[in-house]
Amino acid sequence: MIKDIIAIKKDDKVKVISGKDKGKVGKVLKVIGKKNRLLVENINIVKRHTKPNAQNRQGGIIESEAPIHWSNVMLMCNKCIEPVRVKHKTLDDGKKVRVCGKCNEIIDA
């Protein structure tokens, strides 16, 4: 199996490009690298029916985010304010950074 390189990191702003939440923008909460999935804030909300237990005394229906495949989202550029492809560039000091595919602005702080 070829391992995909995920160019999206935690706390990045992404836009969903396919699926039931298409067009929504959210912040990445967690990157699950082995499964190529992301947990995005307020995206892919699922309802889970739970029984009462020690943590949740009442039980009932709980809504939470489910992971979404990284190919269904695109990184948002701060300068372009659009979803963009990510390029990788090596600076003069040898540091690797992510770069916007449209405006060549450095995405990493």
| pLDDT, tens digit (0-9, with 9 covering 90-100), for 7-25 | 899 999 999 999 999 999 9
Q: Which domains does the chain have, with CATH numbers?
A: 1-76 (2.30.30.30), 79-109 (no CATH)
Residue 100's nearest CA partner among 68, 69, 77 is: 77
Q: 23-48: buried (b, 16+ CB within 10 Å) or exposed (e) per residue?
A: ebbbebeebeeeeebbbbeebbeeee
Pick the most confident of 25-29, 53-57, 86-90. 25-29
Distance of CA 84 to the CA centre of its chain: 13
Count of other CB atoms within 10 angstroms of residue 49:
8
Count of other CB atoms within 10 angstroms of residue 79:
13
The pLDDT, as a whole number, for residue 109 is: 62
- The per-residue pLDDT of the chain, averaged, comes to 91
pLDDT above 70 for 2: no
pLDDT average, residue stretch 54-76:
92
The pLDDT, as a whole number, for residue 4 is: 64
pLDDT above 50 for 92: yes
Q: 89-103: buried (b, 16+ CB within 10 Å) or exposed (e) per residue?
A: eeeeeeeeebbbbee
Sequence-ordered list of residues with C-beta below 8 angstroms from that of 10, at least 6 positions apart, any chain: 28, 29, 30, 31
The pLDDT, as a whole number, for residue 56 is: 83
pLDDT average, residue stretch 46-58:
91
Sequence-ordered list of residues with C-beta below 8 angstroms from that of 3, at least 6 positions apart, any chain: none
The pLDDT, as a whole number, for residue 3 is: 58
